[in-house]
Structure 1
């Protein structure tokens, strides 16, 4: 539950809640695959809160969101299927690299945001068909990654979706939350039906995440955000190294 609170707070600060919750599930003895599916199910409730808090930014985005949700759901389902159908040893081998990637993305968040904000306003020069196909492929790939593991997918998705069109960054961020939430939801449903979810951990983690998500914004206003982000990112890198060398 405490890890869930921390994940909710970290999600408010940096958008990478899994870097707190997933290692905590490993620390209490859950196998990597069980920890991953339990984490996905537990943190799905946070998605609803982020979407509910972004209604102003999402106004008028209905048709765009519908396309993104359909592609993201397909990607999330494929990612979940890959996790369940591939050997557990394969996932265990990839965990240190995935965790390390998520940690690096957290540490580089400000650089990514600066790059997104400074990008040219004229967008890409693709024709309509090629551009649609390109972004459908990108969103699908992000959905697959989100369904398979997910840590760091928010940062990648924010950078990718910002290339689609010129708009305020809060709008892109809100659209990103819907897209990644759809992939996470598809994976969560798949895991509930077919995967070994550890329900006592999922419920405790989920309850803590709700608390963290509710109080996070007020704490973020006074907390040293940069120090907290570097603490979490550095701890994630250390854990990745430890898992890789065991």
Structure 2
């Protein structure tokens, strides 16, 4: 059994997507960011950076005491390596998946995260908005180019790289972006969104927090295009 300390953010969605995809048994432990529960001493014991998500694996392969893990990229890697799911077994495939996983956690996450901060700040800072808009657009361009002629982001199969990246690419509308200039990305977003595990993961988020943004699906985009 895995305890998932979770709230309805992109980084939180990554882990529910993985767990729903693989069918691993887990228990949700809400960490309500609105109530600052990420600063509770019990949570800091497993996530010293006071960020969620975090997990506790009560059944590690060494049969020792429970293992706690923070940082979403490390969390994804751990059960993927433990179970052999959503991570290639061959060296070159693993390298390809891991480099795109780290691309996401280093860029397509921090950059749009900063953009959201400046967009929502009551005191508008044009320099910050411009800087992080351009960097987010650049990263979306990198992602679109990578997906041209490819079904999945890394390797020949759906992987933790797709899961990690989807969680931050899906809310493109919150970043003020349009998918009109990212056709390969748009196709991939719909492919990931239509997976039953993805639908279940976002349903969990909506049930826990009705205000949590949901992915904008192709049908909704087509309606918006027709109305514009």
* Range into which the TM-score falls when normalised by the shorter chain: 0.3 to 0.5
TM-score norm. by structure 2 comes to 0.34
TM-score by length of 1: 0.32
Larger RCO (CA within 8 A; separation ≥ 6): 1
